[in-house]
Amino acid sequence: MSSKLSEMIAAYMRAPTTTAGLRALALAALVLVLDQASKLWVLHGLGFQQPGDSVTILPFFSFTYVQNIGISFGLFGSEGAGRWLLVTFQFAVALFLIGYVRSKSQPLLVAALALIIGGAIGNGLDRARLGFVVDFLDFSRTHVFPWVFNIADSGITIGVALLIWHFMRADKDQASQPDAG
């Protein structure tokens, strides 16, 4: 059975890389770089010493340092072995999506997956390196959105929304075509 799995993985990885797939990988890398650079800036450039340190930018927006041990927006906190399961899961999903997206050509699909890949790797690196994810974008003063988040969270959230839109459009296109049977 393991040789069959190895053959399936090898065939999967031999799929040709499209121009759109290369663009997706570049977008994922951009999200990752922006995410990690912004977190370094928050940790070292703003002089934040401890969680809760904050700088008000606008009446409804602040940079607030938060150490998030959970997944997106602090849900399902995970420490110890759970942390490493989450890190492993994030990197496994990212690797699978990298292999998948590189052979695709639908612009909306590759953009969505690229955002998810970049975000998953960005938050996974934080969790592996620091034991938590650095969050800092704080719109809680709007009293509408109480969570503090980061660029990786934004990439994942926007990517999932685009993915849903992609599949809704595909279903609509399929439903509007006459049956071939």
Looking at the predicted structure, is the pLDDT value of residue 52 above 70?
yes
- Give residue 51's domain range: 18-144+154-174
Task: Return the structure tokens found at 11.
Answer: 């065939």
Comparing C-alpha atoms, which of 154, 156, 87 is closest to residue 127?
Answer: 87
What's residue 116's pLDDT?
Answer: 96
Q: What is the pLDDT of residue 10?
A: 72
**pLDDT on residue 181:** 46
CA distance 112 to 146: 25
More confident residue, 45 or 3: 45
Per residue in 95-119, pLDDT (tens digit) is 999 999 999 999 999 999 999 999 9
Report the alpha-carbon angle 17-35-30, nearest 5. Answer: 30
Number of domains in the chain: 1
Q: What is the mean pLDDT of residues 47-68?
A: 94
Q: Is residue 181 part of a domain?
A: no
Structural domain contains residue 102: yes
Residues recognised as catalytic: 135, 153
Q: What's the confidence (pLDDT) of residue 1?
A: 56
What lies within 8 Å, CB to CB, of 89 at 6+ separation is none
pLDDT at 76 over 60: no
pLDDT at 180 exceeding the cut of 70:
no
Of 157, 116, 148, 151, the closest CA to residue 38 belongs to 151
- Give, to the nearest 10 degrees, the angle between helix 81-101 and helix 107-130: 150
pLDDT interval class at 176 (50, 70, 90): low
Q: What is the pTM of this model?
A: 0.83
Query: Taking residues 48-68, what's their average pLDDT?
Result: 94
pLDDT reported for residue 47: 87
Residue 5 domain flag: no
